[in-house]
Amino acid sequence: MNLLKNIWVRGIIIICILIGGFFFLQSYNQVEKPTLVNTQGRAFEKATVVEVLKDNIQEDGSRVGDQVVLLQMETGPQKGQILEANSPNGLLFGTACKPGLEVITISSVVGQLHVTTVYNVDRSMSIYIFIAIFLISLCIIGGKKGVKSAIALIFSFICFVFVFFPMIMKGTSPSLAAIFTATIVTAMTICLINGFTIKALSAILATFFGLLIAGLTADIFGYFTSLSGYNVSNIEALLFIGQNTLIDVGQLLFAGVLFASLGAVMDIAMDVSSAVQELHVKNPALTPKELFKSGMNVGRDIMGTMSTTLILAFFGGSLGVWVLDYVYDLPYLQLINSNSIGIEIMQGISGSFGVILTVPIVALFSAWFPYYIEQRKK
């Protein structure tokens, strides 16, 4: 009876938290965004290709110029109508149309003139299906913890979109906003999957300090190498945003380092904390010093592969830059002193510093907390 009562109480508390969180996010996201681009008279709509009136394919198989196609509009004011449209031959916009293909159009209205252009193939349903398959696989293979992991992923996405972005739009420093958001994501993820336990608390605190170390390392690296958020490739577009909003675009680079390091730092913190907790449960006679040494040994085995994983993730994310530099055979002095390469090195090293120094921190917390609690009970 008491167990049933506790379940009901816990359920009511969770529902109240969810409802309160929903209304808070709804209120907090009332952010006024500046009109940076005039989109009046332009809308993106769904359509289906009915017929290709004029193709742009050449004898050698290449495409030159635009296609002229008939589209049946699926959404918008012209839903159900058959319209003639152009499909540009571009890598970023337009697509090779064929009858039955579902596409996204740009419908522009200029006075009495209506112009419809194919923007791209409609890939939204494919994206939704792959996300659904991923989440279902995670739940089936992971069982109860897989379901909790899926919930944690969704919660993380909600935090990034509905907490971090409004915070920086309201003028909060991107670095502080990133630390705050990452802390919430870490606490929610670890506690949801492992419960609020000693090992969870150790992992949360270690992750927090590991992220601070990663951010501080990036800041120091940037200071001595004269690199900042103003040296990124899309700085012109970001500066335009910075001039029209309260966002400090110069700190976005360092906020990105924190988010990019979060997964690896949280992973190694949880692994070491779990290992130390398991040792303590199996052998309560082990002293904090012995537990700390064991945690360090486990951490040393993990930190090498975790640092490599983090650096490879940064390398893979900027592979196009590396390929361009390699093929153009740039001189070494130009390469090592370029902004893009310097930023990639800064991100990889800063994240790895966070991973490496998280090991002794989490080993210390997870070894000391059980001893402290036992002493308090006495």
| Alpha carbons 148 and 138: distance in angstroms, whole number | 9
Q: What share of the chain is helix, strand, coil (3-state, %, to 5)?
A: 65, 10, 20
| Alpha carbons 338 and 347: distance in angstroms, whole number | 14
The CA-CA-CA angle for residues 26, 30, 33, to 5°, reads: 140
Locate 306 and state its tokens. Answer: 């975790």
Q: What is the pLDDT of residue 2?
A: 54
The larger pLDDT score, comparing residue 282 to residue 35, is at: 282
Locate 157 and state its tokens. Answer: 């996405």
Average pLDDT, the chain: 85
pLDDT at 42 over 90: no
List the end-to-end C-alpha distance of the chain, in Å, as a whole number: 32
Say what the pTM is: 0.83
Residue in the structure block whose two tokens are 């299906």:
129
Q: What is the pLDDT of residue 34?
A: 76
Distances in whole angstroms, Cα of residue 28 to Cα of each of 158, 245, 248, 249:
13, 17, 19, 21
| Alpha carbons 144 and 128: distance in angstroms, whole number | 23
The residue among 74, 81, 258 whose CA lies nearest residue 176 is 258
pLDDT tens digits, residue range 98-126?
899 999 998 887 777 788 889 999 999 99
Average pLDDT of the residues in 169-183:
91
| Alpha carbons 350 and 254: distance in angstroms, whole number | 10
The single-letter DSSP state of residue 63 is: B
For residues 337-350, one letter each, b for 16 or more C-beta atoms within 10 angstroms of the residue's C-beta and e for the rest, the string is eebbbbbbbbbbbb
Residue 296's pLDDT band (cuts 50, 70, 90) = very high
Locate 50 and state its tokens. Answer: 């009915």
Distances in whole angstroms, Cα of residue 41 to Cα of each of 35, 38, 78, 115, 133:
14, 9, 14, 10, 37
DSSP three-state, residue 254: helix
Residue 10's pLDDT band (cuts 50, 70, 90) = low
pLDDT at 97 over 80: yes
Give CA 48 to chain center in angstroms.
Answer: 32
Residue 17: which residues within 8 A CB-CB, separation 6 or more?
none
